[in-house]
Structure formats: C-alpha cells, structure tokens
Amino acid sequence: MVEKKKKGVIFLLIKARGIPIWIQCLEALLRLLPQNHRVIPDINRNLKYRRKGYNGEKSSDYYANLLDKTEFLILHDLSLFHNKLHFQIDTLILTTRFLLIIEIKCLEGELYFNHETGQLTVSHHQTVTGADNPLIQALNHCTQLKGWFRDRKMIEVPMEHLAIISNTQSVIRCSNYETARHVGTDKSLPLKVMELSKRYKKELLTEKEVKRIAKALKKVHSPQPINILGFYKLKPEELLNYIACPNCGYRPMVRFRGYWHCKICYVNSKDAHVGVISDHLLVKGNRITNLECRLILGIDSLKLANKMLTSMDLNREGKTKGRRYTLKLT
C-alpha cells in the first residue's frame, strides 16, 4: 500500500489487480492433467477467453489510472460477501461525493444495449446472441454494496455504475441517451467518469472517511476458491501426482540429499514442490493435509512434508493430523 498525504487530497493506491483466480486454477489444472486428457481443449478455450478478459481489465486499469488521484480513489478486483452471496466488483472508484462501480467486459462485434429489456445483444459473424449485460451486473453490485453499507450503519453515498467495453474494435450502440452515458470503452473511461462526476457536487464524506471505507472494503475482500474439478466433472484421481522435472518433464522427481532429483536429465531442484503443492491447492478447493501432501509428492516422511508446508506461507486450520493448509488468496 502506498500512501502519501498531499494538501487536502487523497492519494492512496490501496488495491491493485492480481491474476484472476479462474486463470490461476485453469493453468494449475493444465499442469496436473495428462497431456491427452479429454478436457484439455475446453480448458484451453476457457483460458483464452479469461486471459482476453484479464487483458481488457488491465487495459482499463491503465486508463483509470489517468484519473486525478487527488480526487478518485481506485480499488481493483474486489470480492465481497453480502446477504449470503459473493459478488466481485471489477473496479470501484471512491470519492467524497459518490461511489462508482465499473464492470469491464471484452466483447467482439456490434453490441446493442437495450434499456427496456436490460438485454445486451452481440452481432458477430452474422449471428446475434445475448450476452451478460455488464450494466445490469454493475447495477446489481450497486444494490449489494448499498446493503453492505447499510448493514454496517455507514453513511449512504450515491452510487453510480459504468460498463466498459475493453475491445476497441467492437461497435457500441445504446437504445437511449441515458444508457449511453453509462457505457464506454477503456480509452473513454476517464472521460466517462468525469462526466458522471459532474452530477455530484455535494461533499458527503471527508477524505478520512473515504480512506476508512476503502480500508474496510479491502479488509473484507475475500476471493473464493473455484470448484474447478466440479466445473469440468473431473475426479481427483484423474490428476497426476508427483513432481515433474522442470527441465525435461519426466515424472516423478525423487528426493535425494535434500533436493528433488531427475533420473533422466540429472537436474536438481530445491523447491520444485512449491508449485506442485500450490497447483493441487488451487485445483482441489484450496485445502490440503499432511497426508495428502505426502501422496502428491511421493514421500513418506511426515516431518519433511510438515517442513515443506510450513515454509510455504499458507494459512493453517486445525491441529495435529487433521491440520489443513490453505493458500492465502488475494
């Protein structure tokens, strides 16, 4: 966290965007499945789509960061929980006058936002399909965030919403002017924010309060593990155990004199287990016991597995045999 106080201004970079959990899980799953597994083409397709979305978000972040940081405090990729539901906000902008929720989508073709039906249709290669409408998503998130504020008896601040289409080649059409005010491209993001900002003149929060809200939101930010095995209808037994050699790919590497050793190319590695344990955690719902760790790595020593797990900066739950380790998701 970088914090610098200027005269009467907010300058606080409080939450950057990390690699989305979906991408991390899909990449981990690819490393744990045999190369000829039936779901690999599906995973690759999904990964391509998610990476495109992530690149769109990063591109939008670039333009969001052009905004005057003395006025706009920006939180990227926020996972919150309200009313028994998790929701994920792509970008939240906080000011002393209003809050703004931005949903970012990377869509190709001609997009039409219909304000009467709330539908977004996409015309591409002579086919017309419906798509998740980021405007409706942003509006729903506004309702959930308002509820989150109410539960904590925090001051009610007006909330605005904005949908950003990060693909510059797509053509955007809206059914009316009001809808068009809430839709833009990544490049037009600063302009759109400034335009919406003009509607809110009254200072409702102090800069201190804005910072306090941002800190409170960051504190409860809780990304959820994804049930990726369930998503692809896979059984844990289908995953490969043991460590693959980082040099030649041979599996298993064996433990020899404090190193992981490859019998084929003679490469040694001190920490090849770290990636493999992380991959299994990502794919298996983010929990692992000492016994599971030994099975994955192909080692017998409880003490060695314990040493490896405790050196990995994982969360720990429970005691002795039943102790579970989880990744600190950010």
Could you list the residues that contact Zn ion (CB under 5 A)?
A: 245, 247-248, 250, 262, 264-265, 267
Min dist CB 244 to Zn ion, Å, is 8
Min dist CB 263 to Zn ion, Å, is 8
Residue among 14 and 272 whose Cβ is closer to Zn ion: 272
- Cα dist from 15 to 21, 170, 219, 237, 285, whole Å: 16, 29, 11, 37, 25
Find out whether 325 and 316 touch, Cβ atoms under 8 Å: yes
Residue among 267 and 312 whose Cβ is closer to Zn ion: 267
Min dist CB 270 to Zn ion, Å, is 15
Chain centroid to Cα 97, Å, comes to: 27
Q: Which residues contact 271 (CB under 8 A, 6 or more apart)?
A: none
Residue among 13 and 267 whose Cβ is closer to Zn ion: 267
Q: Which residues contact 2 (CB under 8 A, 6 or more apart)?
A: 12, 13
- What is the rounded distance in angstroms from the CA atom of residue 16 to the CA atom of residue 22? 17
Min dist CB 245 to Zn ion, Å, is 3
Residue among 35 and 320 whose Cβ is closer to Zn ion: 35
Identity (one letter) of the amino acid at 2?
V
Min dist CB 257 to Zn ion, Å, is 17
Find out whether 78 and 130 touch, Cβ atoms under 8 Å: no
Residue among 196 and 244 whose Cβ is closer to Zn ion: 244
Min dist CB 256 to Zn ion, Å, is 13
- What is the rounded distance in angstroms from the CA atom of residue 232 to the CA atom of residue 324? 25
Residue among 16 and 264 whose Cβ is closer to Zn ion: 264
- Joined together, the tokens standing for residue 316 give 């720990």
Residue among 52 and 251 whose Cβ is closer to Zn ion: 251
Min dist CB 46 to Zn ion, Å, is 30
Buried b (16+ CB within 10 A) or exposed e, 252-286: bbebeeeebbbeeeebebeebbeebbbbbbbbbeb
